[in-house]
Amino acid sequence: MEKLRSATPQLENSIARQKNYLSPFRSGSSNVNIPHSSICKDLPWQQKTAFSPEPLYKEIKSYTTTIATNGDPADIYYPIAKSNKCPVEFPIALLMQGALVDKADYANFASQVASYGFIVVVPNHERTLTAPTGQTITGLFPEQRQVNDVLNWMVAEDANPHSPIAKIVDSDKLGLLGHSFGGSVGLVASQEDIFIPGISSPNYVQPPELKAGIFYGTSFRNPVTDAVLPLNNQDIAIGLIIGDRDSVIKPGSTAETYDLILNPPKALITVEGANHYGITNLDNLIREPNRPTLAQSTATETIARWSGIFLQAHLQGSSGAFDYIYNTGDALDLNVSVISQSPNFGQFLNLP
């Protein structure tokens, strides 16, 4: 091993990164920012019971507002904690919409992800894109800088006594969700040293609060050549979900994107019978020629559950959620097939 390490410095760095990543799971630490956590015995992720893939919270509320840092209208979904013993803070999950898909179309998905213990932010981000031919189109298109804008705004929202989510935002932990074009934006946001016209934003700085992202119906491609690009995600965990009936983003393109994610942990979840719009409230008969064979409500619940549990594993530090994503969940869910690579893969399974 010493000879191998000296010959391959990148492998040595990978081993160190895997050890650091695994430490909270080995110790059983939840890594969740809960003030006065010593008396918060009744919080779902602290209970000493067997892990369940069911939502943590039954009551979800939402409100519509404007993101002060960029003027975007947004819908906010958040869980209601029943604990009266201490404050509860929830990590942030920013959902970046598919091209020309309104935020309201993600209401079912966003509320279900929120039920796993997250404040889900769903903006409408309108802008004008220019094609290489010079043609322009104005519509709903997310971009990289929303990550910084939303995080900064959420810090202010948490401190605003008039906000419905005052004092319940864990602004130290940010996860990304995304659909189609928005998923591509999320993948670009997971790395700093790349600029893709139409998706990247000038002077984007990846915030240290960004820990993970999981995206539906997307791939990471060069918009000019259409070639799938390698993704240097560093320490950010990446999940990809694809419907096997998707004709807008071919499942093979998503699988190739998964293969080119350079750093584990990573996961590829295929939902059998879902098409490109399995994540939205309704199927889209115009933009997706393939009809799903899985009921829309089942597809949305499946995508939301795997997204929520993925973020539980990597933002809340839940060892049960981690095990579900990388070991047991595939066998428990008849509607999905999963391939994954966790930090303790292969010969590194028993890292000291």
Predicted local distance difference test score (pLDDT) of residue 4: 29
Whether 232 shows a pLDDT value over 80: the answer reads yes
φ, ψ at 136 (rounded to 5°): -115, 155
Higher pLDDT, 194 or 268: 268
pLDDT band at 115 (very low <50, low <70, confident <90, very high): very high
Give the Å distances, CA to CA, from 19 to 14, 100, 244, 255, 319. 9, 42, 35, 27, 15
pLDDT band at 34 (very low <50, low <70, confident <90, very high): very low
Task: Give the global pTM.
Answer: 0.85
Tokens of 282: 């309704």
Q: Residue 24 is which amino acid? A: P
Tokens of 2: 């010493």
**Residue 150: which of 103, 197, 193 has the closest Cα?**
103
Distance CA 96, CA 197 (A): 17
Give the Å distances, CA to CA, from 189 to 53, 98, 186, 218, 250. 28, 15, 5, 14, 22
**Alpha helix (H) ranges present in the chain?**
2-7, 9-27, 107-114, 146-159, 181-189, 251-259, 296-311, 319-323, 329-332
Ranges 35-49, 79-93, 135-149: which has the least confidence: 35-49
Tokens of 286: 């115009």
Predicted local distance difference test score (pLDDT) of residue 261: 96
Count the neighbouring beta carbons within 10 Å of the beta carbon of residue 107.
17
Q: How far apart are the first and last CA of the chain?
A: 13
Higher pLDDT, 38 or 230: 230
Predicted local distance difference test score (pLDDT) of residue 92: 98
Q: What is the pLDDT of residues 247-295, one digit of tens each?
A: 999 999 999 999 999 999 999 999 999 999 999 999 999 999 999 999 9
Q: What is the mean pLDDT of the chain?
A: 86
Residue-wise DSSP of 63-127: EEEE-TTT--EEEEEEE-----SS---EEEEEEEPPTT--GGGGHHHHHHHHTTT-EEEEE--EE
> Please, which residues have CB within 8 angstroms of residue 129's CB and are 6 or more apart in sequence?
136, 137, 138, 141, 198
> Please, which residues have CB within 8 angstroms of residue 316's CB and are 6 or more apart in sequence?
30, 31, 32, 45, 91, 117, 173
Whether 349 shows a pLDDT value over 80: the answer reads no
Predicted local distance difference test score (pLDDT) of residue 242: 98
pLDDT band at 40 (very low <50, low <70, confident <90, very high): low
